A and B are shown apart, each in its own frame.
Chain A
Amino acid sequence: DTGVSQNPRHKITKRGQNVTFRCDPISEHNRLYWYRQTLGQGPEFLTYFQNEAQLEKSRLLSDRFSAERPKGSFSTLEIQRTEQGDSAMYLCASSQAGNIQYFGAGTRLSVL
């Protein structure tokens, strides 16, 4: 078990570009979560999946954000037309339902 894996670790992009992040959860975990963390703050919930079903989305998740988990394994988070305010650490976590969420190392996004 290698834990939750996120790629890339760092992404620098220009405003208006699209970016996509990938998360590979712990293999036996059926739940997968995305959070966003800005400097000096705690992580904020964005969305989560149970298997391939997206069960909840935060109000923070504007229509420029979309997440998928097509086969109930890895997940992608896409941000279209990035804005400077999107700069943050994007964290992925996985769990068995009702149990501890284990976090990946995150993808740090910088929008110039």
Chain B
Amino acid sequence: ELKVEQNPLFLSMQEGKNYTIYCNYSTTSDRLYWYRQDPGKSLESLFVLLSNGAVKQEGRLMASLDTKARLSTLHITAAVHDLSATYFCAVVSNSDEKLTFGTGTRLTIIP
């Protein structure tokens, strides 16, 4: 059974600082996604990572994938308040199409 773990679960950061969220998964996968969720809202797709060494960047967020280590990272550069949200990684196993989500990282940016 595919398991996805994220850490940290909670993260408070000061504006302007850098930090990284980690996502580990237990079996081989050919796709990994990062989603953002604001309180009471649905999930917004941020990145899809398809291959080993893949790196995607959008604004202050950068995601990378190491399939050999079964690890993805979401790096936040010079955080701003608008980035406060819960971030989920989700993995698609090689045998089916369902997403298995991590527990999420609740990010709070403090002015």
Contact = CB atoms under 8 A, between A and B. Distances in A.
A100 B4 CA distance: 18
B43 A41 contact: no
B98 A48 contact: yes
Contact of B45 (A44, A97, A100): A100
Identify the interface centre among A43, A55, A56, A93: most chain B CB within 10 Å of its CB: A43
Given A45-B98, A48-B98, A56-B98, A103 B42 contact: yes
Interface in A29-49: 31, 33, 35, 40-45, 48
Nearest to B30: A98
Contacts of A35: 99
Contacts of B90: 42
Counting contact residues on chain A (CB < 8 A from B), the size range is: 20 to 34
B25 interface: no
Interface of B: 4, 33, 35, 41-45, 48, 88, 90, 96-104
By Cβ-Cβ distance, the 6 closest A-B pairs, closest first, are: A42-B101, A45-B98, A103-B43, A103-B42, A105-B42, A100-B45
A41 B45 CA distance: 17
Contacts of A102: 45
Contact of A101 (B96, B99, B100): B99
B35 to A, nearest CB: 8
Contacts of A104: 42
Given A100-B48, A103-B42, A44 B101 contact: yes
Interface of A: 31, 33, 35, 40-45, 48, 55-56, 58, 91, 93, 95, 97-98, 100-106
A51 B104 CA distance: 30
A95 B48 CA distance: 13
